Amino acid sequence: MTYEYFIGRRYLMTRQRQTFISLITLLSIAGVMVGVMALIVVIAVMSGFESDLKSRILGGQAHVVLLRHGGRLTGYDTVVKQVEATPGVVAATPFIYSQVMLRSADGVAGAVLRGVRPESAGRVIPSLRGISFETKEKAHRKSNAAFRVPGIVLGRELARNLAVHKGDTVYLISPKGMLSPMGHLPAMRRFRVTGFFESGMYDYDGTFAYIRLEEAQRLMRMPEAVTGIEVRVAKIYQARQVADRIVDRLGFPFWARDWMQMNQNLFSALKLEKTVMFVILTLIVLVAAFNIASTLIMTVMEKTRDIAILKAMGATDKSIRKIFVFKGMVIGTVGTLLGMVAGFSLCAVLKRYRIVELTGDIYYFTTTLPVKLEMLDVGVIVLATLAICFLATLYPSRQAARLHPVEAIRYG
């Protein structure tokens, strides 16, 4: 240990004559600790929110959606085979998309209707695994009337809004109607609720309704045509590259969108919010850094005669700077370590216990507060804190090094 660090350690460990300086030192450590703890907890919550939201979106949405310029896509069975033969594609399924109204005995609600193939839709969208449009009456062939009633699967929140249960009847009202002497009449058809799906994403569970692809084609007057092809890829962050391969393979007039493009505004807003919160909470560390600078300035004033004696004995300006930089960095390091411990502990508590409940109509999904600690984020927080603390030591240590030994002894 060099004498600079030895003296700096003595300045930290020995009882100072002015207890006010010691109090400010403790407050500086506490300020750094609180700042680091707040940064770790808030960034972990926002990372967890982004990760959880991403997994729920991908649970109710395809990785890639293939569409055709001009609208309807015909010959879709051949297209599905070509898409599934593309490297990186796991599964593909055709779908029909439309906005409709659903009416039950106790309510009316707008819905997004999706016609799918149940045997392949579950391989593309995880929340549709095990989906079934078979009614109990159809399975047992009890009556011809019940046999002709097709099945519909509703999102859990949508079913709650309509106040329907499994086996109840709902009426689907489609804008694809017909002209009559009284004007345009919307098409209406009766469906029997055969089940529910729950993706955990409030927007999906509150708006989506699924029927068989063939029923949707008849209802939407789209014989032998679909809206597009939904695709699941092996690696979600390579969805854009796989989409480009599919389009290159099929050529014009096909085009594709990946899940990042479909949710670009949402994830861009989350990233911006995370950055802004990091900048705002860093101000807490900045305030603690001012306390560190104040502590060092008062220590320099208290130790003026000691500094003069050291310089008279041959200590260089660089050595004097090292003493006070060392003391300031010890304060910053101790505060950072305590903040890490407090932040990790609070994250563990939030993750284990249901302290904060989120409502789906405000926060997109219904769950407890999501927490995800990422070591990269923790590393950035620690490095930023130590850098701020180091900058706070430069001015006091520079002023200590500039003291003239004769003047300091005379007036110290």
**pLDDT tens-digit profile of 231-289?**
999 988 888 999 999 989 888 888 999 888 888 888 888 888 888 888 888 888 888 88
pLDDT band at 370 (very low <50, low <70, confident <90, very high): confident
- The answer on pLDDT for 143 being more than 80 is no
Peptide bond into 396 cis (omega under 30): no
Nearest to 254 by CA among 233, 229, 285: 229
Amino acid at 16: Q
- The answer on pLDDT for 344 being more than 90 is yes
Buried b (16+ CB within 10 A) or exposed e, 125-136: bebbeebebebe
- The answer on pLDDT for 136 being more than 70 is no
pLDDT band at 142 (very low <50, low <70, confident <90, very high): very low
Q: What is the pLDDT of residue 94?
A: 92
Mean pLDDT of 286-304: 82
Please state the length of the chain. 412
Q: How far apart are CA 96 and CA 121, in angstroms?
A: 12
Query: Which carries the bigger pLDDT value, residue 170 or residue 295?
Result: 170
Q: Pick the most confident of 13-22, 100-109, 134-143, 306-315.
A: 100-109
- The answer on pLDDT for 306 being more than 90 is no
Assigned token pair, 331: 């304060």
* Matching residue, tokens 């032998």: 224
- pTM of the full structure: 0.73
Nearest to 193 by CA among 138, 147, 141, 133: 133
CA angle 246-248-250, nearest 5°? Answer: 70
pLDDT per position as a tens digit, 382-398: 999 999 999 988 888 88
pLDDT band at 297 (very low <50, low <70, confident <90, very high): confident
Q: What is the pLDDT of residue 36?
A: 92
Assigned token pair, 326: 């060392």
Sign of CA dihedral 19, 25, 30, 31: positive
Which residues fall within 8 angstroms of residue 224, CB to CB, at 6 or more apart? Answer: 74, 217
Q: What is the pLDDT of residue 311?
A: 77
pLDDT per position as a tens digit, 50-67: 888 888 787 778 889 999
